[in-house]
Amino acid sequence: MAFPSLSIGDLTAKMPIVQGGMGVGISLSGLASAVANQGGIGVIAGAMIGMKEPDVAKNPIEANLRALRQELSKAREKTQGIIGVNIMVALTTFSQMVRTAIENRADIIFSGAGLPLEMPKHLLQACEEKKEEFKTKLVPIVSSARAATLIARKWLSRFDYLPDAFVVEGPKAGGHLGFKREEIDDPNFALEVLVPQVVEAAKRLEDQKGRAVPVIAAGGIYTGADIKKFLDLGAAGVQMGTRFVATRECDADERFKQSYIAAREEDITIIKSPVGMPGRALQNDFIESARQGNKKPFKCVFHCVHTCDQEKTPYCIAQALISAMKGNLERGFAFCGANVARVNSIVSVKELMDSLQQEFDQTISKGRQTLQGLLK
């Protein structure tokens, strides 16, 4: 049995799998286009996307916007599939990045790390000013039904725009988490609890506006059986990040990928990120040194995140993540999801998608056999 498709407005992905937008530089056009070619939704991460541009330190805004245009163009050359961009609300360049993604015809913008209350304004302005119809879908990333409802109300009252979908990201996700430290291990905030709540909130919006608002479950989803579980809970699709790092097409350095292969359960840690949110990462000497107070405040050149207090911050998160992506893990660290210790090999995106399909099918046939056994 094939995966059900995932429809977001007039876009339909053959597989209900969204590849998480992983910054800095972990998911660019290479990984995103490979996922799109397999029928999933590929996502380019916008955070510090201009890190390889020669003028990034002098002109960070221009460098990042230029790189975003280039990555979208490269992805388009490699695939006819669906390409999204992940743009964090916390970015100082948020509005310029959103506008650039729309004008360069990104299919979807996923946006979290804050509430994207103004996002439809940029789409409406682009259509008006350019006298063109831009069809980019706008998808907030939320950590609660309350946040989803709040965003939808604001968008409807101010812009008459209903979110095209929601991603609900639970506390087992990699990178920055939209939870307080004490909520991360609290069963009340488990993804299994959050998904039905957000689905219920989305249904109320659907009834109000008469169109579908699919919910995509994210954070700690690892197998085809996990996908089946969350689809059964009402999600229309899932977002996966960690699994896609361990693929040949992932844009990170080989040493970054190998850190996932080598990871053990006890290596996973929660850090207090300079951007003011907790984050899940792989413990290493860099993180330990920051915890011991051995890193000193630095001169900020990027000004990438407006929640970063550079006077008090012991290191530059952008620089640390750029170093990690390039494989220099002694000068940075790798963000990861809660299941990273289960990763044991690097495969192609096609092999990964095929194995998820196989596991999904096996889960369905096991369920049928169990049901038949009970009916006998």
Q: Are 88 and 57 in contact (CB under 8 A)?
A: no
- Does residue 132 belong to any structural domain of this protein? yes
Give the closest residue to 257 by CA, choosing from 270, 269, 248: 248
- Does residue 301 belong to any structural domain of this protein? no
Is the model's pLDDT at 311 over the cut of 70?
Answer: no
- Does residue 356 belong to any structural domain of this protein? no
Is the model's pLDDT at 301 over the cut of 60?
Answer: no
Residue in this structure with the two tokens 């360049």, named with its chain if needed = 93
pLDDT in tens, 165-181: 999 999 999 998 999 99
Q: Give how many domains the chain has, as a whole number.
A: 1
**What angle separates helix 94-103 from helix 119-130, to the nearest 10 degrees?**
50
Residue 131 is part of which domain span? 6-252
pTM (whole model) above 0.85: yes
Q: Which two tokens stand for residue 362?
A: 């096996």
Q: Which residues contact 218 (CB under 8 A, 6 or more apart)?
A: 18, 20, 141, 167, 168, 169, 170, 173, 191, 238, 239, 240, 241
Strand partners, 215: 166
Give the pLDDT of residue 2: 81
- Does residue 137 belong to any structural domain of this protein? yes
Cα 316 from Cα 197, distance rounded (Å): 36
Q: Round the average pLDDT of the chain to a whole number and report it.
A: 92
- CATH assignment of the domain containing 48: 3.20.20.70
pLDDT in tens, 219-248: 999 999 999 999 999 999 999 999 999 999
- Does residue 156 belong to any structural domain of this protein? yes
Cα 203 from Cα 209, distance rounded (Å): 10
- Does residue 33 belong to any structural domain of this protein? yes
- Does residue 358 belong to any structural domain of this protein? no
To 10 degrees, the CA torsion angle through 38, 41, 47, 49? 40
CA angle (224, 167, 276) in 5-degree steps: 115
Average pLDDT (175-196) is 95
- Does residue 200 belong to any structural domain of this protein? yes
Q: Are 21 and 60 in contact (CB under 8 A)?
A: no
Cα 131 from Cα 227, distance rounded (Å): 41
